[in-house]
Amino acid sequence: MSDLRPTAVIVLAAGEGTRMKSTTPKVLHTIGGRSLVAHAIRAARGTSPHHLAVVVRHERDRVAEHVAQVDPEAVVADQDDVKGTGRAVECALQSLPEGLDGTVVVTYGDVPLLSSETILELTAMHDASGDAITMLTSRPQDPTGYGRIVRGADGAVEAIVEQKDATEDERAIREVNSGIYAFDARFLREALSEVGTDNAQGEMYLTDVVVIARRRGLAVHADLVDDVWQTEGVNDKVQLARLGAELNRRTVEQAMRDGAIVIDPSTTWLDADVTIGPDTVVRPGTQILGASTIGRDCVIGPDTTLTDVEVGDGASVVRTQAELAEIGPGATVGPFSYLRPGTRLGAKGKIGGFVETKNADIGAGAKVPHLTYCGDATIGEGANIGAGTIFANYDGVTKGHCTVGAHSFIGSNSVIVAPRTIADGAYVAAGSAVVSDVAPGQLAVTRAQQRNVDGWVARRRAGTRTEEAARAAQALASTEHTSEQTSETKDAQR
């Protein structure tokens, strides 16, 4: 077979999803960092169909806009006031080129784990058999709510009966319709024009085309899926969490097969787009989200959340929260570091404990080891930012930028008031408030001269333990002084 691509994949996403009890349309809820409908669209797109349509109605604009973002090539088809899956497919066909033939696959926008491979297998099976309809069925523990597969004495599929229309006997059937089908395009178009709304829900059922096929003497093939998760849909928030956990289990397993070492898969959450290099260790309690990419031989976690973060090979990121940041190869971050958007840490650089960074470009080998706020700053290669340094980037009205040059050294507990430039090879003395630029080779000191007031404790804190301690220390010092003098005298006499 040369062309296994389906002619079209139609993703149904017009339903209301009332059981979600949410102001967000059901298909826009996310698992693994992607909306439900984005998962469905990616699976569909992965089969390289000639056409891909997404049917919308409920919250039409929000869903349509999202679909256009996820897959600009997808056709957004509007369903009208006629309800039902049959009408949804009919509306999709109307927005695709007229007279389409070949295989049309229908999937659901609220079924996120269906894979491209499964759609391709279904398509191949359908193409090979030449049947009018090929569909995926499953046998869930509890078939309540699903359409039941009614098979004839010869085992052939005769009809799909919806829960609400089913007789007692039909409700006892365990095999159910997954809602994923491959159709012959011409047959589908013709059959849909015959489908009515004479049923318990007053809807145009897509499932009615099965009976129409049988009436015409056409074959309908149903295939039980091996992997039931792939056909499970989300109807409420309990299922959202269940499918989210299963997706995560699969993503983490894939990461391990690709070479990552995951210490505790059950507390590790990886979004679907994340990549992790071989021999990187992911420790417990870690979430790697968005479009994060992690190099090889890194240590990530424990208790770390990275969102859209790029981590170079051999870096270590421990107990850290980071978003839209770049961490260079061999760099170390944490514990207890907070990297906000626009943080870039160079190769072998360091961001240590209780450090917050934002829009900060920290050069290779530079160190910001302790208790610092580093916002809107460029730190040169090999510079050292002392403990407790604050880049005062905001004056209440505007934000300003600071630069610290290569191999410069900022003493502890300094504040650099933006906008300011400290050149390469400069020093700032501990405890300084830097309000003017510092040139290469200079030392900036802004603190007041130290003044030691003799006898202050004795005068102002008489009777305290402090005064007692001072007296004892003074007495000891004077004896030592005397004995030193004695030994000096002896030395002189020698």
* Catalytic site positions: 370
Under 8 Å between Cβ of 248 and 32? yes
Give the whole-angstrom CA distance, residue 176 versus residue 160: 8
Please give the residues from 218 up to 237 whose contact with Ca ion meets the rule CB under 5 A: 233
**Site membership for ligand UD1, residue 85 (CB under 6 A):** yes
Question: Considering the complex, what minimum distance in angstroms separates the CB of residue 274 from ligand UD1?
Answer: 27
Cα(458)–Cα(117) distance, integer angstroms? 86
Q: Give the residue among 350, 368, 431 at the shortest CA–CA distance from 404.
A: 368
Considering beta carbons, is residue 122 or 206 the nearer one to ligand UD1?
206
Report the residue number, 14 or 28, with the smaller CB distance to ligand UD1: 14
Q: Does 233 interact with ligand UD1 (rule: CB under 6 A)? A: yes
Tell me: does residue 147 bind Ca ion (CB under 5 A). no
26 close to 108: Cβ distance less than 8 angstroms = no
Q: Per CB under 6 A, does 108 bind ligand UD1?
A: yes
Note whether 88 binds ligand UD1 by CB under 6 A. Answer: yes
Phi, psi of 321 (to 5 degrees): -115, 125
d(CA 437, CA 478) in angstroms, rounded, equals 47
Rounded to the nearest whole angstrom, what is the least distance from the CB of residue 23 to ligand UD1 in the complex?
17
> Binds 393, which of ligand UD1, Ca ion, none (CB < 5 to 8 A, cut-off by type)?
none
255 binds ligand UD1 (CB under 6 A): no
Q: How far apart are CA 305 and CA 263, in angstroms?
A: 16
By C-alpha distance, which of 6, 220, 224, 9 is closest to 129? 220
Outline where 227-372 has alpha helix (H).
237-257
Restricted to residues 159-198, the positions that interact with ligand UD1 (CB under 6 A) are 160, 162, 176-179
In this complex, which beta carbon is closest to Ca ion, that of residue 171 or of residue 461? 171
Stretch that binds ligand UD1, among 119-127, 205-213, 427-435, 460-468 (CB under 6 A): 205-213
Residue carrying the six token digits 């900060």:
360
CB of 109 to ligand UD1, least distance (A): 5
Asked if 268 and 286 touch (Cβ cutoff 8 Å), the reply is yes
**Nearer of residues 167 and 486 to ligand UD1, judged by Cβ:** 167
- The partner in contact with residue 312, picked from ligand UD1, Ca ion, none with C-beta cut-offs of 5 to 8 angstroms by kind, is none
14 binds ligand UD1 (CB under 6 A): yes
How distant, in Å, are the alpha carbons of 311, 324, 344, 376 from that of 334?
Answer: 14, 16, 15, 20
Chain positions contacting Ca ion, by CB under 5 A = 233
Chain positions contacting ligand UD1, by CB under 6 A = 12-15, 55, 79, 83-85, 87-88, 108-110, 146-147, 160, 162, 176-179, 205-207, 233
